[in-house]
């Protein structure tokens, strides 16, 4: 039977402290719903005493009915030299009305004397009395021992006294925080093991990635007996980030026989990671373990041949276990096997010796000579294959577009307006849109016109736009290759266009991105390749 690990997600609190992260109240509510559906045990919702936005969030989240997760409010021990009842932050935590309260306190003597400017004994009183106050109110109380590992290495006796004070106050879980992120896995294991052997309460771990070892450190703490793991779902957070829970869940549940989330939810790991990235407005790293776009991508011919014969030859797990997918990248080192595997997805009857295969390979060589590259643009590649196999019908025809550029406005930005006329099965739509530059304006105008016929396009937007000059010798007349990355909040796809006119190259990639989405929507609806 799988051993249980309580997953504690701090994306909304510790994650919100990451550079460039700013959640609206609506963002927070969406993330709570997403994490609850995945089945995490705890969601740390923020500090209700820190700002009006968090107060509004706590008022609204009370109306949500969570199925799997417990909501936790976060705050500090009472301030020095006042009673718990007099502390405003403590009262704010009470007003948040959550089932769980997380209290952080100092366990490093240096922080007590030099940062808090109080006595070592008063700090222990602050811990004990604050936790006791919330236990008397019927709360589940988690104690975050801030800087515990640095504190233990500096003064192990005092660090342990801080934990004893928390237990005396009624702590249900003691969380050992590796706040500065500089400890090594062997240190985490040894110190956590000592704590586990000393206390008869649940022990948790909270790690940061400043040394690039947050995930390893969290896993070593679990090996030492910790049963509660804190982190953020895709690793963002203060400085270098927090422990990445999507990686930790994958490692512990698939390889160590722990149950972190319900077994049936593992297939949603990638989907949830991408959804949280979308809500947070950050790019999910392609190379992120388990859930990244490149986590199961193969480029080298030998690797591709090996995976085709036996997937475990170059893959540590089956990507379907976490809802990800295997990808064979188009490149000069991929070989005919890669192309054939992609062709057979669209037409299973094609063999490496068939006429269609040769025609498509010749077409690809012709396009690559012109400057196309399909390694990062498999969606455009798929559309080319469909066209060559006669399995493509355009969703619209462009009749005309015009772009007008304007001089910088008062805020210093160049603005552009795009006017566009399209034809969908004999129906004409004319519209216009303004954007930050010609490509942005063209993208907005095209989608605005097409949404009349295809409402599903309202979900999509561009997440990346790259331009590569292919021949610098011809200066401004050089060919350019444009890569556009698009998302609908769940899937991400990339398309490519090449031309000596940057607007035309962008248009080619833009049209491919929209047509790919429309094709995939139809395939999902009918659960078959068109």
Phi–psi pair at 347, nearest 5 degrees: -140, 100
The 8-class DSSP code of residue 130 comes to H
Its domain, for residue 319, covers 297-388
Q: What is the CATH number of the domain that holds 483?
A: 3.30.160.270
| Residue 289 in domain | no
Are residues 453 and 329 part of one domain? no
The last residue of one of the domains, among 354, 388, 422, is 388
Segments of 249-339 assigned E as strands: 258-259, 297-298, 327-328
- Please answer whether residues 242 and 214 qualify as being in contact, where contact means their C-beta atoms are separated by less than 8 angstroms: yes
Are residues 320 and 251 part of one domain? no
Q: What is the pLDDT along the chain (530 residues), one digit of tens a residue?
A: 789 999 999 999 999 999 989 999 999 999 999 999 999 999 998 888 667 777 789 989 988 999 999 999 999 999 999 999 999 999 999 999 999 999 999 999 999 999 999 999 999 999 999 999 999 999 999 999 999 999 999 999 999 999 999 999 999 999 999 999 999 999 999 999 999 999 999 999 999 999 999 999 999 999 999 999 999 999 999 999 999 999 999 999 999 999 999 999 999 999 999 889 988 988 889 899 999 988 988 775 566 666 667 677 778 999 999 999 887 766 544 556 667 777 777 777 887 778 888 888 788 778 878 888 776 678 888 888 888 888 888 999 999 999 987 666 555 667 889 999 999 999 999 999 998 888 889 999 999 999 999 998 988 888 888 888 886 555 556 788 898 989 888 888 989 999 989 999 999 999 999 999 999 888 887 766 55
Q: What is the CATH number of the domain that holds 272?
A: 3.20.20.70
| Structural element, H or E, at residue 228 | strand 228-231
The last residue of one of the domains, among 280, 313, 333, is 280
Are residues 308 and 238 part of one domain? no
Q: Two tokens at 61?
A: 């989240």
| Residue 306 in domain | yes
| Residue 292 in domain | no
Count of structural domains within the chain: 3
- Please answer whether residues 288 and 295 qualify as being in contact, where contact means their C-beta atoms are separated by less than 8 angstroms: yes
pTM for the whole thing?
0.76
Are residues 508 and 462 part of one domain? yes
| Residue 374 in domain | yes
**CA count, 13 A, side-chain hemisphere, 336:** 12
- Please answer whether residues 242 and 207 qualify as being in contact, where contact means their C-beta atoms are separated by less than 8 angstroms: yes
Q: What whole-number distance in Å separates Cα of residue 52 and Cα of residue 49?
A: 8
Are residues 263 and 241 part of one domain? yes
Are residues 489 and 382 part of one domain? no
Are residues 269 and 303 part of one domain? no
| Residue 217 in domain | yes
Are residues 438 and 368 part of one domain? no
Are residues 62 and 194 part of one domain? yes
Q: What whole-number distance in Å separates Cα of residue 309 and Cα of residue 140?
A: 52
Are residues 411 and 363 part of one domain? no
Of 207, 283, 273, nearest to 239 by C-alpha is 207
CA distances from 424 to 170, 429, 510 (A): 68, 8, 17
Collect all residues with Cβ–Cβ distance below 8 Å to 425 and sequence separation of at least 6: none
Q: What whole-number distance in Å separates Cα of residue 372 and Cα of residue 310?
A: 31
Are residues 9 and 96 part of one domain? yes
| Residue 285 in domain | no
The last residue of one of the domains, among 367, 388, 409, is 388
């Amino acid at each position: 039977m799988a051993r249980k690990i309580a997953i504690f997600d701090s994306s909304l609190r510790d994650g919100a402290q990451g550079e460039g992260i700013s959640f609206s109240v609506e963002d927070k509510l969406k993330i709570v719903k997403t994490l609850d559906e995945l089945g995490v045990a705890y969601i740390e919702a923020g500090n209700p005493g820190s700002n009006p936005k968090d107060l509004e969030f706590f008022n609204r989240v009370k109306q949500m009915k969570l199925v799997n997760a417990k909501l936790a409010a976060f705050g500090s021990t009472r301030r020095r030299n006042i009673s718990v009842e007099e502390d405003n932050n403590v009262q704010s935590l009470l007003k948040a009305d959550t089932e769980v309260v997380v209290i952080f306190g100092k366990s490093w003597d240096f922080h007590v004397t030099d940062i808090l400017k109080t006595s070592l004994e008063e700090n222990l009183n602050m811990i004990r009395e604050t936790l006791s106050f919330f236990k008397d109110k019927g709360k589940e109380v988690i104690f975050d021992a801030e800087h515990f590992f640095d504190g233990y290495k500096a003064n192990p006796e005092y660090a342990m006294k801080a934990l004893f004070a928390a237990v005396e106050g009624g702590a249900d879980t003691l969380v050992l925080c590796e706040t500065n992120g500089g400890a090594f896995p062997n240190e985490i294991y040894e110190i956590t093991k000592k704590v586990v052997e000393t206390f008869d309460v649940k022990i948790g771990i909270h790690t940061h990635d400043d040394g690039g070892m947050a995930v390893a450190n969290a896993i070593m703490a679990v090996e030492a007996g910790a049963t509660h793991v804190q982190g953020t779902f895709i690793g963002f957070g203060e400085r270098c980030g927090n422990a990445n829970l999507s990686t930790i869940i994958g490692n512990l549940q698939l390889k160590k026989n722990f149950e972190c989330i319900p077994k049936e939810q593992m297939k949603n790991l990638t989907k949830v990671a991408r959804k949280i990235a979308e809500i947070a407005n950050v790019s999910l790293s392609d190379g992120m373990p388990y859930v990244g776009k490149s986590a199961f991508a193969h480029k080298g011919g030998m690797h591709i041949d090996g995976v085709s014969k036996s997937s475990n030859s170059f893959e540590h797990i089956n990507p379907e276990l976490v809802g990800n997918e295997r990808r064979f990248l188009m490149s000069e080192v991929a070989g005919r096997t890669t192309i054939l595997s992609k062709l057979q997805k669209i037409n299973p009857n094609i063999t490496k010796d068939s006429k269609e295969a040769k025609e498509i390979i010749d077409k690809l060589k012709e396009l690559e000579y012109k400057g196309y590259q399909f390694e990062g643009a498999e969606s455009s590649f798929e559309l080319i294959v469909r066209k060559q196999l006669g399995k493509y019908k355009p969703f619209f025809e462009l009749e005309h577009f015009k772009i007008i550029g304007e001089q910088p406005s008062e805020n210093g930005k160049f603005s552009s307006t795009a006017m566009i006329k399209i034809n969908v099965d004999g129906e004409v739509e004319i519209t216009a849109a303004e954007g930050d530059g010609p490509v942005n304006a063209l993208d907005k105008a095209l989608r605005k016109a097409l949404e009349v016929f295809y409402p599903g396009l309202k979900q999509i937007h561009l997440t990346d736009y790259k331009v590569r000059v292919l021949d610098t010798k011809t200066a401004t007349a050089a060919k350019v290759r444009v890569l556009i990355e698009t998302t609908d909040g769940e899937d991400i796809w990339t398309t490519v266009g090449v031309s000596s006119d940057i607007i035309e190259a962008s248009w080619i990639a833009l049209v491919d991105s929209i047509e790919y989405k429309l094709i995939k929507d139809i395939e999902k609806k009918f659960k078959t390749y068109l």
